[in-house]
Amino acid sequence: MGISRWLASPCLKRLGLTVLLALAFIVASPVKADPGQALLADLADASPRQIDAAIEAIVDSGDPRARDWLDAYGNNRLSRNKNTGQVVEVLRNVGRNWTIADPLTGDNLGEISRRELDRVNINNAIRGKLEGVLAMLDLYSDDPEVQENAAEAMMGKVNNSVVNPLNKLLERDLPGPVRNRIEESVAIYQLEQGDSQARVEAIDVLTGSLHSNARAALNNAVAGDDPAAAARAKQALVSIEQKLQMNRVAETLYFGLSLGSVLVLAAIGLAITFGVMGVINMAHGELIMLGAYTTWGMQQLLPGQPGLALILSIPAGFLVAALAGIAIERSVIQHLKGRPLETLLATFGVSLILQQLVRTVISPLNRSVTTPEWMSGSLVINDALSLTLNRMYVIGFALVVFAGLMLIMRKTRLGLEVRAVTQNRAMARSMGIRATRVDILTFGLGSGVAGLAGVALSQITNVGPNLGQNYIIDSFMVVVFGGVGNLWGTLLAGLSLGTINQILEPWAGSVLAKIMVLVLIILFIQKRPKGLFPQKGRAAEG
């Protein structure tokens, strides 16, 4: 007994010694060495009627290796060595010679001719039961994650053989989610098999559940032959439906918010350059694209470290896009002062060149950008609502960028000058502000923010030459909707357009929703031609 406890100890330091000792004992006295050996031998020797008892004995032993044994058994991998009578686990059963291992120690025992092996018998009925038994073993696991998964797997699969052990399990101290899940599983079983009293109780338990199996069971109960239970189940379903509705609303809002924050990111740089210089930069979308490609390039430079690459590409994307933006401003836009329509055309030409440049130099195909581990996955709120992490990061990022821009605009010298030039260029210049310098810096800032948008977008959409085009019209709509030169307007417009789009989408389809939003904006412009927050005073003339 002492030795077996010693063997079962998970202490890794002693593992090598343990193996040696175990081997020694096996060689010396095969019967006394390990209770596991006897258990396995019983299983191998059992007649079909005794197999249940043999399995139960293994489970009841509480041996931590029990799960592996039963798993191997269920997968036809337990065999008996005809020569030595030892029960072994088959690791590789291809070819004439099979690789085997000792199930007690996990030692590889080398290859052996398959004729020397005798498979431990199993049939489908036993296999079916074994599944439940294994799930039960998992439920007793020390690892909460294994426990939770097992509880999840138990949903809707409870039968006579596991209901009592489950009830026993419920008497123990369990983590909240595991307990809820098991209670629900048992309730589903009771609803289907129990007497009317048990059914009513089961319905009460299931009322709080959003799991689809619970709803299916309640629906069955509504259609069932017990009128009392049917009425109660109907009520339960109504209350569940309400909760689901709320979750759906929350989900729509979340998606709307995330789409909206993408729009805000894409549009806010545009709002700055448009507001300050009265210039529409049609190449803005391509600056976003450059930011996204910077992320991709960073990840190529730092293979295997997508997280670090992503963080580094935030400043890098900003710089790349800002420099490109300044280059556009110096080479094209400054020559077109006071001719906004021509500027629009020229920058459109620039956007075509940039797109084709990416197609020619990199590839016309989409590039894949890896999402780092800490950004993938989702936050599970309940059965009906889980929020994907990458979108949450994008929302957060958009807010941080927005706050940063707000700070620059309100608290720095540059912001002060930018606001002055926005309001009245001539007056600002006569007060000694170098408008040209302000133009360059604002254009760099706006373009840099486009680069940041690209970094964020690379995490939620494909990075390809058309990335910018897909967002440019939406960004314009946000700017037009929010009002020129007003960051709050852009924020509000972006978030509300994103949300409206997501609200319309389920019943209109994504294309129609987009069309409807465009039509809505066109109609909105009727009422407020200068957007939600129009510029006031002298600056508004135009």
Partner 1 sequence: MWLTRPLQERSTQVFLGVLFAAVALVTLLHLIMPEGHALHVSAYTVTLLGKYLCYALLAVAVDLVWGYLGILSLGHGAFFALGGYAMGMYLMRQIGDRGTYGDPVLPDFMVFLNWDSLPWYWQGFDMAWFAFIMVLLAPGLLALVFGFLAFRSRVTGVYLSIITQALTFALMLAFFRNEMGFGGNNGLTDFRDIVGFNLRTDATRLGLFIATGIALAVGYVICRGIVTSKLGRVSIACRDAEARTRFLGYRVEWVQLFVFVVSAMLAGVAGALYVPQVGIINPSEFSPLFSIEIVVWVALGGRATLYGAVIGAILVNYAKTVFTGVMPDAWLFALGGLFVLVTVFLPKGIAGLLQKRRKQEDDDPTENGSYKPQSKEASA
Contacts of 181 (CB under 8 A, 6+ apart): 148, 151, 152, 154, 155
CA dihedral 288, 400, 322, 420 (to 10 degrees): 120
Among 114, 157, 234, 514, binds partner 1 (CB under 8 A): 514
CA distance 189 to 160: 9
Q: Does 529 bind partner 1 (CB under 8 A)?
A: yes
CA distance 442 to 417: 10
Tell me if residue 220 falls in helix, strand or coil: helix
**Mask 264-283, x = binds partner 1 (CB under 8 A)?**
----------x---x-x---
Q: Which is nearer to partner 1, 1 or 426 (CB)?
A: 426
* Shortest reach from residue 268's CB to partner 1, in Å: 16
Q: Does 227 bind partner 1 (CB under 8 A)?
A: no
Q: Which is nearer to partner 1, 200 or 508 (CB)?
A: 508
Select from 57-65, 384-392, 485-493, 508-516 the region that touches partner 1 (CB under 8 A): 508-516
**Mask 474-503, x = binds partner 1 (CB under 8 A)?**
--xx--x-----------------------
Q: Nearest Cα to 449, choosing from 270, 260, 308, 257?
A: 270
Binding residues for partner 1, total number by CB under 8 A:
46
CA distances from 83 to 105, 109, 113, 343, 448 (A): 20, 14, 11, 90, 75
Provide the CA 357 distance to its chain's centre, in angstroms: 34
Among 360, 363, 368, 378, binds partner 1 (CB under 8 A): 360
* Shortest reach from residue 530's CB to partner 1, in Å: 8
Q: Does 351 bind partner 1 (CB under 8 A)?
A: yes
Q: Which is nearer to partner 1, 112 or 479 (CB)?
A: 479
Q: Does 365 bind partner 1 (CB under 8 A)?
A: no
Q: 525: which 2 tokens?
A: 């412009």
Q: 25: which 2 tokens?
A: 């004992």
Q: Does 430 bind partner 1 (CB under 8 A)?
A: no
Q: Nearest Cα to 166, choosing from 151, 156, 176?
A: 151
Among 190, 207, 355, 422, binds partner 1 (CB under 8 A): 355
CA distance 190 to 188: 5
* Shortest reach from residue 252's CB to partner 1, in Å: 21
CA distance 146 to 349: 58
Phi, psi angle pair for 87, to nearest 5° = -85, 125
Q: Does 344 bind partner 1 (CB under 8 A)?
A: yes
Q: Which is nearer to partner 1, 379 or 522 (CB)?
A: 522
Tell me if residue 90 falls in helix, strand or coil: strand
**Mask 153-192, x = binds partner 1 (CB under 8 A)?**
----------------------------------------
Q: Nearest Cα to 296, choosing from 470, 444, 461, 447?
A: 461
Q: Does 373 bind partner 1 (CB under 8 A)?
A: no
Provide the CA 371 distance to its chain's centre, in angstroms: 10
Q: Does 427 bind partner 1 (CB under 8 A)?
A: no
CA distance 484 to 532: 9
Q: Does 541 bind partner 1 (CB under 8 A)?
A: yes
Q: Which is nearer to partner 1, 98 or 476 (CB)?
A: 476
Q: Which is nearer to partner 1, 92 or 339 (CB)?
A: 339
Among 338, 413, 432, 536, binds partner 1 (CB under 8 A): 338
Eight-state DSSP code of residue 14? G
Among 359, 366, 414, 462, binds partner 1 (CB under 8 A): 359
Contact 405, 295 (CB under 8 A): no
Contact 500, 512 (CB under 8 A): no
What does the binding site for partner 1 look like in residue numbers (CB under 8 A)? 274, 278, 280, 332, 335-336, 338-346, 348-353, 355-357, 359-360, 473, 476-477, 480, 511-512, 514-515, 518-519, 521-523, 525-527, 529, 539, 541-542
